[in-house]
Amino acid sequence: MSLEENLKKYRISEKEYGLICDQLSREPKGIEWALYSALWSEHCSYKSSKYHLKKLFSKSERVLQSFGENAGVIDLGQGERVAFKMESHNHPSFIEPYEGAATGVGGILRDIFTMGARPVALANYLCFGEPDAERMPTLVKGVVSGISGYGNCVGVPNISGQTEFHSSYNGNILVNAFALGLFRPGEKVFTSQAEGEGNLVVYVGAKTGRDGVHGASMASESFDDDNEAKKPNVQIGDPFFEKLLIESCIEVMEKGLVVAIQDMGAAGLTSSSFEMSSNGGVGFDISLDKVPLRDSRMTPEEILLSESQERMLLICEPKNLQAIKDVFSRWNLDATSIGTVTKEKRIRLSWNNEELCNIDPDNLVDNAPMYGPEDRPFNEWFPTHRVGSRDKLLTDVNNFELMLIKCLTDVRGCNRNWIFDQYDQRVGAQTISDCSNDVGVIRLPDSERALSVVLGCRPYVMRLDSAEGGKDSIAYPSVELASLGFEPLAVTDCLNFGNPEKKELMTEFVASVQGMSKQCEALKAPIISGNVSLYNETIEKNVTSTPSTGVVGLRDSVYGPSNKVKNENEVVLMLSMEQLKMSGQFAEISKQPMKACGEINANATASFIKDLRTFVLDNKVSTSKVVGKFGLAYTLARMCMNGVGMTIDTTNSSELLASTTEKYFAESLYQVVVCLPEGDYKKMNTENYSNLEIVKLGTTGGSKLKIDSNINMDVAKIIESYNSWGEHFETLA
Amino acid sequence: MKKVGVVRFLGTNCDRDIWQACEAKGYSPEWLWYEDGFDVSSYEAVIIPGGFSYGDYLRCGAMAAKSPVMKSVVEFAGAGKPVLGICNGFQILCEVGLLPGALVKNTSGMFVDKWTELKTENPCQFWGKSVANSRLPIAHGEGRYHIEPEQLEKIKSSGQVWLTYKDNPNGSVADIAGVLNENKNVAGLMPHPERAMFDWMGGDDGFSFF
């Protein structure tokens, strides 16, 4: 093959080819092409993003493991620790929705139990196109049943989710899976650092097949018209196999038989072996002919690049191999020694005793290219869509009830229980709060405290302004946590962006990542794990830049406020700190321009979050909900879903939002509505919450939602409007 | 302390949940591995938890029904001792012939997870004896109870219909959520009482079932 053909086949640029020749002091040969292709792909190397990711706020005294391992780990105190991470499976899910989404769940679970933690919670962040876009009902159905089919079978509850719809995702949906695992007191955290000369490299789990070969480099490209041709690159998953793998891996780890362990994810055996060797500073001698195969005709290159699912690589002392084999065999799985750990940091791959390559793993891992501002240029961020503080954000509407119904029935505002009801949300018997609430909560079985998971990133805020949207991706979910009494502890992210080689796109990337980091630092909630998915574009059209997040919080008590009004005759309050006001999601559904005024101050927001949490814990807050998309009226309507109504007077609320239309439908960051008993309201000492503006809005009770003299609706009508999924997806209802 | 055997197949995933429920009731749970038989005199009750035994391959519960541990369960049931099957455990008990009928795909064709209201038609002396009405969560893709009409009449007249749904979530014949064998010592239900043990779970009606 000519040099040109090789560069094209292995998706290596001429510049990178030059770097490879410099590293090796010669041209790459044979299998090396495939190794460089996989490990230097955007998906494995993070070459366009690493320069910026290194600057993320990632430290706190709670952090036990951070970037560089399969998942981040934080200390919860009392001997309990959790590992968590979020990962994208956008490209495979668009091509083959069921398998793409299912294997996304499988992959993120392996990242968790490879650390030694038992997976105890899943969550999903999904962005779809417009309901009438080509293939969209099929994609929605496939993705949801893929997540359901896999997660339910492995027995890990799905406790939270966020689903967005927008035309920018018509040709490139986003499927981001979050998983969290628990280390109970005394359980050890494992890493991927191989060590011990003479130790064995053991392959466990499913046999290697041709599925997913070149998957990593596929995920590093944009879509074109020929997506059908990419179908063979999509992996096939088997949740039953994964369940056996979870149990057997946890058992060998508990029995102290394992030195290091890593799952075979993107770029399969290649990335797992090179990363384990590079991280541990040792070498591997691997006989590829010993790898268990589904098809004996597979070539060494296919074996190295296969992304067959449900496989792990572990390192053990030779004396423990038999004990490991015994455990795996009890779970009907095989464990095969395919090589040894060597002292010199070299990876030697052989095929029937013939050496195929002998290379320094750092060349492919640590010394992979990193593109800074010269290679991936970007501009400084300037606020977008800004108007003056006296300018109107929304044009006045005259029928407020009709507009509220429009919000509740819009696909962006309607009930998503068609999705959630397909997920097992309670397996594990620790679920406190499921997907029907804003925050997923599970109980920690040893300390009997509550651990929460909430997803973040509001794409319409990103469309307004990337810097503010980045801050909001951390701040909004943290406000949601604090409104229920949780302390936000740490964050994982999944940065879904378009083509980083385009300057305007890279500018959005940098602005939002900086915004996120700033907000994390102010909250002292570090980003401990994550994933970057670039080239989310189809035929030159980029998706909305979407830095989705998963924020984990902790509360001492398993009891806390609900999002829906429970009790009659309680006082309704608005707790706020208004910084940025915007036309928001309502502008998008009413075809008005995006407008905003002000900005989010990260430190002020952190103080607001701190006082909000204290307020909720100090006072007997029974119900609380953050004012989010579509503004106050929609938020109040959502609070009535238990059937209990409210009577609200907004005369004293929100000086920033001037007109009635704005008060009801524009958004002001950040506002929280809480309900508490009259007696507690009277005892409340407002001086303790200097960062909260506290305004009385009204009282709970009755079967109607009354707002001023403008809205007077039966709660039953509100619930009916909200349950309108079937109007958008007739074939799915 | 009451010794309860908890059966584990490859793919069982509610095993630790049942363990937690047993401990909450002060029982002494012990694992029963699918490849091994057990001494029927060693246990006072046996529970088959939910999950996806064998990944639901072939037909849910079909493979598990053929495993060595089920021989002992059949013997245990034959001795008149209490056996409870929940969700996949219920499917397995039907497959092995200890309970009448079968469980097939929900009418919607989809997995469904939700809270359901239940009515006790005929109390079971061993599990939830004094519960008249209860609220328990379900989570299954194949939970539609099916039985031939003449068989249905038979189980109705012999008091074998244990629990019915108030708002049928899956298309089950006669709203059936749980049944008993003729001898009333073997019970199976689709809802998960172990997921409704304490108020923080969203309801504690399941506590009385164990």
Mean pLDDT by 10 residues, chain A (733 residues): 90 94 94 93 92 95 92 98 97 94 96 97 98 96 97 97 97 97 97 96 93 66 61 75 96 97 90 94 96 92 90 97 97 96 96 95 93 95 92 94 98 97 98 97 98 98 98 98 98 96 96 98 97 88 95 98 97 96 96 96 98 96 98 98 97 76 96 96 92 96 97 98 95 82
User: What pLDDT is attached to residue A68?
Assistant: 83
Does residue A443 belong to the interface with chain B, where contact is any CB pair within 8 Å? yes
What are A676-733's pLDDT values in tens digits? 999 999 999 988 999 999 999 999 999 999 999 999 999 999 999 999 999 999 888 7
Residues 6+ apart with CB under 8 A from A198: A318, A340, A341
Contact B178, B122 (CB under 8 A): no
Q: Select from B36, B56, B111, B115 the residue whose CB has the most chain A CBs within 10 Å, as the one to mutate to test that interface.
A: B111
Beta-carbon separation of B13 and A431 below 8 A: no
Tokens matching residue A305: 């690049």
Nearest to A626 by CA among A617, A643, A639: A639
Q: Select from B105, B142, B200 the residue whose CB has the most chain A CBs within 10 Å, as the one to mutate to test that interface.
A: B200
Q: Is A44 helix (H, G, I), strand (E, B) or coil?
A: helix
Interchain CB contacts (distance < 8 Å): A and B: 90
Nearest to B160 by CA among B146, B133, B178, B144: B178
Contact A628, A500 (CB under 8 A): no
Residue of A nearest to B9 (CA): A331
User: What pLDDT is attached to residue A222?
Assistant: 67
Beta-carbon separation of A154 and B13 below 8 A: yes
Rounded to whole angstroms, the Cα distance separating A690 from B139 reads 46
Beta-carbon separation of B10 and A443 below 8 A: no
Does residue A388 belong to the interface with chain B, where contact is any CB pair within 8 Å? no
Name the pLDDT band for B63 (thresholds 50, 70, 90).
Answer: confident
Tokens matching residue A618: 């100090």
User: What pLDDT is attached to residue A266?
Assistant: 82
Beta-carbon separation of B21 and A239 below 8 A: no
Residue A127: which H helix or E strand, with range? Answer: strand A118-128
User: What pLDDT is attached to residue A36?
Assistant: 95
Tokens matching residue B187: 């019970």
Beta-carbon separation of A429 and B55 below 8 A: no
Q: Which amino acid is at A464?
A: L
Beta-carbon separation of B111 and A422 below 8 A: yes
Name the pLDDT band for B189 (thresholds 50, 70, 90).
Answer: very high
User: What pLDDT is attached to residue A214?
Assistant: 67
User: What pLDDT is attached to residue A588?
Assistant: 95
| Widest Cα–Cα separation across chain A | 85
What are A179-207's pLDDT values in tens digits? 999 999 999 999 999 999 999 999 999 99
What are B130-164's pLDDT values in tens digits? 899 999 999 999 999 999 999 999 999 999 999 99
Q: To the nearest whole percent, how much of chain B has pLDDT over 90? A: 91
Does residue A245 belong to the interface with chain B, where contact is any CB pair within 8 Å? no
Q: Which active-site residues of B does the annotation give?
A: 87, 192, 194
Rounded to whole angstroms, the Cα distance separating B82 from B44 reads 7
Residue of A nearest to B136 (CA): A426
User: What pLDDT is attached to residue B60?
Assistant: 77
Q: Which residues of chain B have a CB within 8 Å of the CB of A149? A: 111
Tokens matching residue A222: 């944009």
Domain of B154, CATH number, reads 3.40.50.880
Residue A240: which H helix or E strand, with range? Answer: helix A239-254
- Which residue range is the domain that position B93 belongs to? 3-209
Residues 6+ apart with CB under 8 A from B27: B1, B2, B3, B4, B210
User: What pLDDT is attached to residue B55?
Assistant: 78
Query: Which pTM value belongs to this model?
Result: 0.96
Nearest to A421 by CA among A66, A158, A666: A158
Q: Which residues of chain A have a CB within 8 Å of the CB of B111? A: 145, 148-149, 152, 421-424
Task: Out of A644-648, B60-64, B95-99, pick the least confident.
Answer: B60-64
Beta-carbon separation of A429 and B57 below 8 A: no
Residues 6+ apart with CB under 8 A from A85: A70, A71, A72, A108, A111, A112, A178, A179, A492, A529, A530, A531
User: What pLDDT is attached to residue A171?
Assistant: 94
Tokens matching residue A14: 């001429």
User: What pLDDT is attached to residue B46?
Assistant: 98
Rounded to whole angstroms, the Cα distance separating A630 from A400 reads 12
Rounded to whole angstroms, the Cα distance separating A192 from A328 reads 20
Does residue A332 belong to the interface with chain B, where contact is any CB pair within 8 Å? yes
Contact A459, A543 (CB under 8 A): no
Contact A432, B119 (CB under 8 A): no
Does residue A559 belong to the interface with chain B, where contact is any CB pair within 8 Å? yes
CA-to-CA separations, B178 to B9, B44, B84, B170, B196, in angstroms, rounded: 22, 21, 10, 13, 16
Give how many domains chain B has, as a whole number: 1
Q: Which active-site residues of A does the annotation give?
A: 43, 89
Beta-carbon separation of B110 and A422 below 8 A: yes
Tokens matching residue B193: 């009482």
